[in-house]
């Protein structure tokens, strides 16, 4: 009798514990899940989940309005958007050199050196926020920041509109692509649509993820394993291998004190929110095509991938052997994708 009773109460307790755990999971899961996903921007794309891999391949094809892409490309390359027609977006985001300028820090239209290294425009549409600090929520919002910033393009909307309206190729193109022709809104939309077309699918690593196990050498596969087991993947993950989380730079020690000469850009996301918790916090950058985008880090201080990895290991994880660095570099080399069907 006694035994039966205590058995019953054990069963009841077990049942209650199960209910509490299941309810807890049901409440927490959607939150957890949404944090792990690459947030979508205005563009809709399918994320191909393969096994339990923390990284997903870039879609092979995105459905974008071709008229807008063509128009946006012309504008992206046209100095007419800048002060005194000196600069275009490609002055810094050279599409032939990985979407960057190869400089430590960018130099704007008035010759002034900016405080940050140029981020690539390739695959930027997949990032959950734009810029090193995630200051802008999407490509459209980001656009005015660069167009009008006197340190970057120094443009002026009334001048831009005037110039674009005078150019027959734009008059034709906008009439084709937009029912209301040339407007500020449509110029921004065309450039942002073109930027979304700057995605780089079909890297060797993506082919590997899609099931082609021969796409990587043994050393590259080992590099990927180290990237995962070492912990790089806790921050650099998702479709863009970064670009979907904020993280502190300098978790194990103060990178900035060690480097010296702290400047306002080093304060990171604190500059956007004013919250002391965001001091030295940055959007984890994407590692897609990273072999092409040196120098590295927001301050452009790492001249090579090896240097960047040493800094990452030292300040974000734990010291790393030179053999492991070399293997990770080999893995990172496999992340170079294709643009318009050709290797970047």
* Binding to ligand HEC, residues 248-277 (CB under 6 A): 249, 251
Closer of 175 and 321 to ligand HEC (Cβ): 321
Beta strands in the chain (DSSP E): 246-248, 281-283, 338-339, 342-343
**Does 198 contact ligand HEC by CB under 6 A?**
no
Looking at beta carbons only, is 14 or 139 nearer to ligand HEC?
A: 139
DSSP string, 177-219: H-TT-S-HHHHHHHHHHHHHT------HHHHHHTT-GGGS-HH
DSSP, residue by residue, 54-89: SS-PPPS-----HHHHHHHHHHHT-GGGSGGG---H
User: How many residues belong to the chain?
Assistant: 344
Query: What are 267's two structure tokens?
Result: 């304060």
Q: Name the β-bridge partners of 283.
A: 246
187 binds ligand HEC (CB under 6 A): no
Identified binder of ligand HEC from the candidate list 58, 83, 128, 146, rule CB under 6 A: 146
**221 is a site residue for ligand HEC (CB under 6 A):** no
Q: Which stretch binds ligand HEC (CB under 6 A): 33-41, 81-89, 202-210, 213-221?
A: 81-89
Strand partners, 113: 107
Contact assessment for residue 311 and residue 155, using Cβ atoms and an 8 Å cutoff: no
Minimum CB distance to ligand HEC smaller for 48 or for 233: 233
- Considering beta carbons, is residue 221 or 298 the nearer one to ligand HEC? 298
Structure tokens at 97: 């050199």
Q: Is 69 in the site for ligand HEC (CB under 6 A)?
A: no
Tokens of 279: 């001091």
Q: Which is nearer to ligand HEC, 48 or 80 (CB)?
A: 80
62 - beta bridge partners? Answer: none
Mark the segment that binds ligand HEC (CB under 6 A) among 42-50, 54-62, 147-155, 199-207.
Answer: 147-155
CA-closest candidate to residue 233, choices 54, 71, 52: 54
97-116 mask for ligand HEC (x: CB under 6 A)? ---------xxx-----x-x
Q: Contact residues for ligand HEC (CB under 6 A)?
A: 81, 87, 89, 91-93, 106-108, 114, 116, 118-119, 121, 124, 127, 130-132, 139, 142-143, 146-147, 152-153, 191, 195, 230-232, 234-236, 247, 249, 251, 282, 284-285, 287, 290, 293, 296-298, 305, 308-309, 312-313, 316-317, 328
């Amino acid at each position: 009798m006694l035994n039966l009773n205590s058995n019953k109460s054990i069963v009841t307790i077990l049942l209650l514990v199960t209910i509490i755990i299941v309810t807890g999971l049901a409440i927490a899961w959607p939150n957890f899940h949404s944090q792990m996903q690459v947030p979508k921007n205005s563009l809709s794309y399918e994320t191909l989940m393969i096994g339990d891999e923390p990284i997903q391949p870039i879609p092979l094809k995105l459905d974008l309005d071709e008229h807008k892409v063509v128009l946006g490309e012309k504008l992206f390359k046209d100095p007419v958007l800048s002060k005194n027609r000196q600069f275009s977006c490609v002055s810094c985001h050279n599409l032939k050199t990985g979407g960057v300028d190869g400089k430590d820090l960018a130099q704007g239209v008035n010759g002034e050196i900016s405080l940050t290294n140029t981020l690539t425009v390739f695959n930027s549409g997949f990032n959950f926020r734009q810029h090193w600090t995630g200051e802008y929520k999407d490509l459209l919002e980001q656009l005015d920041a660069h167009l009008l910033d006197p340190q970057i393009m120094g443009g002026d909307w009334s001048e831009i509109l005037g110039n674009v309206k005078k150019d027959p190729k734009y008059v034709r193109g906008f009439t084709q692509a937009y029912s209301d022709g040339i407007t500020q809104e449509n110029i921004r939309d065309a450039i942002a649509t073109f930027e979304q077309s700057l995605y780089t699918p079909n890297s060797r690593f993506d082919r590997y993820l899609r099931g082609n196990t021969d796409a990587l050498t043994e050393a590259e596969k080992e590099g990927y394993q180290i990237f995962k087991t070492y912990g790089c993947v806790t921050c650099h993950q998702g479709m863009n291998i970064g670009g979907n989380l904020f993280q502190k730079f300098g978790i194990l020690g103060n990178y900035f004190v060690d480097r010296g000469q702290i400047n306002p850009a080093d304060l990171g996301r604190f500059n956007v929110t004013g919250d002391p918790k965001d001091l030295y916090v940055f959007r984890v950058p994407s590692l897609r095509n990273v072999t092409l985008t040196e120098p590295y880090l927001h301050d452009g201080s790492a001249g090579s991938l090896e240097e960047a990895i040493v800094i990452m290991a030292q300040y974000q994880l734990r010291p790393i052997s030179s053999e492991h660095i070399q293997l990770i570099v080999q893995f990172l080399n496999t992340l170079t994708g294709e643009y318009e069907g050709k290797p970047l």
